[in-house]
Amino acid sequence: MWNIMRTLIMACTLLASLQLRAEDGYRLWLRYDRIDDPALLTQYRSSVTAMVFPAPSPTLLVARNELLDDLGSMLDKKLPIRTTPSDNCILAGTPSSSPVIAQLLSSKYPGLAGDGYVLHSQLVEGKHLIIIAAHSDIGVLYGVFAFLRLLQTHQPIQNISLSSSPLVQRRILDHWDNLTRTVERGYAGASIWNWHLLPDYIDQRYIDYARANASIGINGTVLTNVNANSLVLTPLYLQKVRALADVFRPYGIRVYLTAKFSAPVDIGGLKTADPLDPAVQKWWKDKCDEIYSLIPDFGGFLVKANSEGQPGPQTYGRTHTDGANMFADALAPHGGIVMWRAFVYDVRPQRKNEHFDDNPAHAEGHKAATADAGTSKTPVVDSGAHNIPVSRPSPGEISAPDRFKQAYAEFTPFDGKFRPNVLIQVKNGPIDFQPREPFSPLFGAMSKTPLMMEFQITQEYLGQGTHLVYEAPLFKEVLDADTYANGKGSTVAKIIDGSAFHPGQGSPFTTPTLQPGISPGGQTTADQLAAAPLTGMAGVSNIGNERNWTNHPFGQANWYAFGRLAWDHTLSARQIADEWVKQTFSNNTMVVSAIEKMMMASREAVVNYMTPLGLHHIMSSSGHYGPGPWLNNAPRADWNPVYYHRADAYGIGFDRTATGSNALTQYQPQVRQQWLDSNTCDEKFLLWFHHVSWSHKMKDGHTFWDELCNRYQSGVDTVKWMQRQWKSLAGLIDKERFTQVSMLLNIQEKEAEWWRNACLLYFQTFSRMPIPPGVGHTDQTLEYYKSLRFPYAPGTGISL
């Protein structure tokens, strides 16, 4: 008896340890562990016993191997590959590989287009088949991942009948990675691109990166930082880029590069980079020919021009259209596109890295720029650039035109004037990826120009590498906002997918097959573009070479959510969280429910403990890490937190109504109306648009000051609640990730309190009102918080 007991105990321990084996996070959501529910495992095993999966192309080959390997490990059984279907068999492919598939797509899914896929169970000649079908090879790979997801999330697979197609065409990760392997605003180690060892050394990570992206439908990657380095366009580096493109191609991922506007001068030996100069135009045309000879499916360029010191057409007295169209013309013969960023402010050229750190105490770049701008012996960024001296404002002298308004002012005059292969890439909000921003007014103002969304996945302003903040609610809030650009219901999502102005768009497109040897010339022909203008969504990547890719295990959820929403913006944040948790942690209902609740509460928490009620841009200068609402001595007015919150003895907030900067006029009347009056304005945006008194009456009857204090406290409380939720999962999550997240939540708690204390102490010097009961106090002084410095905060990405 004792022996039996002992064996049983040993078996149970072994089982438990097998199920909760060490997880270093490398596998992301692609874990494919053996199905741990015995009944379900039996059911899945009997529904899938073999597969018919012809693989005449590299994409179909990776799709087949993925299915074979992952089903093999989830079912703990190797499936045979057959040439003709047997009972309970998977049949995968395109219409050209199977008449059954051809028939299915034309009869039951006539609307399926582009890279969409179908998962469908059907009885064919008395045999039960599960069909994974698409018109394109890459669609089949997407279908494979979707099918695998069904099993990973323990869904029934017996009677499936579903189809899904991407709603935007270009679903892209933007890496702010430098050739030195530092990553601007990266908090997960060094760049995953090992430029030094490329092209000869292919890191397994590149392949896993491609798999992960393909599994969520991402189909492009911009390898380099928008604060660009021309060197990447030299032959030495293009060989390296080519090696990466070759790895990504079977996964349907196209490579893009950032183009530095001054490249013809930097590396081409020209005297100017003026976009209207024929020699410059020829230089870019030749450069594109060279790139396409190496990478026939090269996606195109992302350009940051005339912003934060980057050179651009304005440097030569030219316009955004002159600049963007020059690239467009060079790329068009090859089917390439230009993503031209609308994040513009400041035409003054900056010194290298100047914008990384605006604290004069340790910002050498600023010192130099303010001291000798215009007289510098060291060339700045561009030989033809203007040098506009900037003098540091004395405290109290902060004023400048509203930066909120600049992108609109610079771009709307050119609506309809860009070539069809240009997308204007617009950040989600008017300032800069704050925890909460109203949507950028540009989304409602350029009906004749395709606009591409730029989200920031990396958490520059959301707790960086250590805070658990699930971003899907932020993304959704923006996507679902109504711009009224073409009447009610013109949501930002519909502007992005093209359907607001082009009915019928927002549904499927074909990404041309990315096979070597096939001319990509037809990718974006004028005809195609006229019929279906370009659409896209970009996310600034949070990936680095940390073993688990994103440093915070929950950073993976943001990468995942971005991809899923770029594919289908109608998915809900909760639905995406649900899939992700099940794939990444477990299907255990306690785990799923606790983690989902934490994730769904986390974004509002960060807004509350950092920037409640419409506060924005009040972070410290040291790498944007921590609070710094008191900062008032950066060399540009609009780098100063005091410029944004404008606290004074009367109240706080940026008046953007007619009595202030009047930025509200950049929105359609219906939108303007909803934010115009400080008494009716949605309180979450209040200080974005109004300067309200400290005793302003809030909807719940509190004074503004009390409400502000309560919000800061509620942010902290939510983090403490998250800690408790997480603790309740002890034993249900593998030890490694459990401990990691526990430690990170402790940091988050400390930092949430830091934000609360520092901000309230500071704002109290204006409000002169007491902190209400229930709101945490600190023994520290405001001077203490002001004295904190973080000279080596990560993410500054120095040395381009």
Site residues, ligand GCW (CB under 6 A):
176, 184-185, 226-227, 304, 308, 343, 432-433, 460
- Let me know if 717 is a catalytic residue: no
> Residue 91 or residue 342: which is nearer to ligand GCW going by CB?
342
> Residue 185 or residue 242: which is nearer to ligand GCW going by CB?
185
Amino acid occupying residue 699: K
> Residue 182 or residue 584: which is nearer to ligand GCW going by CB?
182
Question: How many Å apart are CA 283 and CA 233, to the nearest integer?
Answer: 12
Query: What 3-state class would DSSP assign to 627?
Result: strand
Beta strand pairing status for 651-652 and 692-693?
antiparallel
Token pair, residue 254, equals 């196209």
φ, ψ dihedrals at 574, nearest 5°: -70, -45
Question: How many Å apart are CA 388 and CA 525, to the nearest integer?
Answer: 41
Question: How many Å apart are CA 642 and CA 629, to the nearest integer?
Answer: 6
Token pair, residue 381, equals 């960024």
> Residue 67 or residue 228: which is nearer to ligand GCW going by CB?
228
Minimum distance from residue 343 beta carbon to ligand GCW (Å): 5
Minimum distance from residue 570 beta carbon to ligand GCW (Å): 27
Minimum distance from residue 491 beta carbon to ligand GCW (Å): 24
Token pair, residue 289, equals 């020919």
Residue listed under structure tokens 């392949």: 207
Minimum distance from residue 471 beta carbon to ligand GCW (Å): 15
> Residue 329 or residue 432: which is nearer to ligand GCW going by CB?
432
- Which of the following is catalytic: 115, 137, 402, 460? 460
Amino acid occupying residue 407: A
- Let me know if 266 is a catalytic residue: no
> Residue 104 or residue 226: which is nearer to ligand GCW going by CB?
226
- Tell me the CA distances in angstroms from 464 to 312, 436, 775, one per residue in order: 30, 15, 25
Amino acid occupying residue 340: W
Q: Which residue is nearest to ligand GCW (CB)?
A: 432
Helical axes 589-610 vs 472-479, angle rounded to 10°: 70
Token pair, residue 48, equals 């899938």
- Let me know if 308 is a catalytic residue: yes
Minimum distance from residue 778 beta carbon to ligand GCW (Å): 28
Token pair, residue 285, equals 């045309």
Minimum distance from residue 701 beta carbon to ligand GCW (Å): 37
Exposure letters 347-359 (e unless 16+ CB within 10 A, then b):
bbbbbbbbbbbbb
DSSP one-letter string for 416-482: T-S-TTEEEEEESSSSS--SS-PPPGGGGT-TTS-EEEEEE-S-TTTTTTT-----HHHHHHHHT-B
Question: How many Å apart are CA 666 and CA 689, to the nearest integer?
Answer: 12
Minimum distance from residue 265 beta carbon to ligand GCW (Å): 21
Question: How many Å apart are CA 345 and CA 343, to the nearest integer?
Answer: 7
Beta strand pairing status for 300-303 and 337-341?
parallel
Question: How many Å apart are CA 612 and CA 603, to the nearest integer?
Answer: 11
Minimum distance from residue 516 beta carbon to ligand GCW (Å): 33
Question: How many Å apart are CA 41 and CA 56, to the nearest integer?
Answer: 31
Provide the CB-side half-sphere exposure for 776 (13 A, CA).
21
Minimum distance from residue 128 beta carbon to ligand GCW (Å): 52
> Residue 350 or residue 523: which is nearer to ligand GCW going by CB?
350
> Residue 358 or residue 477: which is nearer to ligand GCW going by CB?
358
Minimum distance from residue 297 beta carbon to ligand GCW (Å): 26
Query: Residue 682: which of 771, 607, 769, 627 has the closest Cα?
Result: 607
- Which of the following is catalytic: 23, 274, 308, 546? 308
φ, ψ dihedrals at 244, nearest 5°: -65, -45
> Residue 258 or residue 713: which is nearer to ligand GCW going by CB?
258
Those residues with Cβ within 8 angstroms of residue 791's Cβ, 6 or more apart along the chain or in another chain: 362, 622
Max CA pair span of the chain: 91
Question: How many Å apart are CA 241 and CA 516, to the nearest integer?
Answer: 15
Query: Residue 665: which of 436, 321, 412, 493 has the closest Cα?
Result: 412
CB neighbourhood size of 111 (10 A):
11
- Which of the following is catalytic: 372, 432, 480, 568? 432
> Residue 176 or residue 689: which is nearer to ligand GCW going by CB?
176
Map 78-112 to HEC letters: CCCEECCCCCCEEEEECCCCCHHHHHHHHHHCCCC
Query: What 3-state class would DSSP assign to 303?
Result: strand
> Residue 639 or residue 726: which is nearer to ligand GCW going by CB?
639
> Residue 308 or residue 402: which is nearer to ligand GCW going by CB?
308
Can you say how many angstroms the Cα of residue 471 is from the centroid of all Cα atoms in its chain? 9
> Residue 227 or residue 325: which is nearer to ligand GCW going by CB?
227
Query: What 3-state class would DSSP assign to 322?
Result: helix
Helical axes 58-75 vs 137-152, angle rounded to 10°: 10
Instruction: Give yes or no for a contact between 431 and 617, defined as CB atoms under 8 angstroms apart.
Output: yes
Minimum distance from residue 275 beta carbon to ligand GCW (Å): 20
Minimum distance from residue 310 beta carbon to ligand GCW (Å): 8
Minimum distance from residue 356 beta carbon to ligand GCW (Å): 7
Sign for the CA dihedral angle at 11, 14, 17, 19 comes to: negative
Which residues are marked as active site? Answer: 308, 432, 460
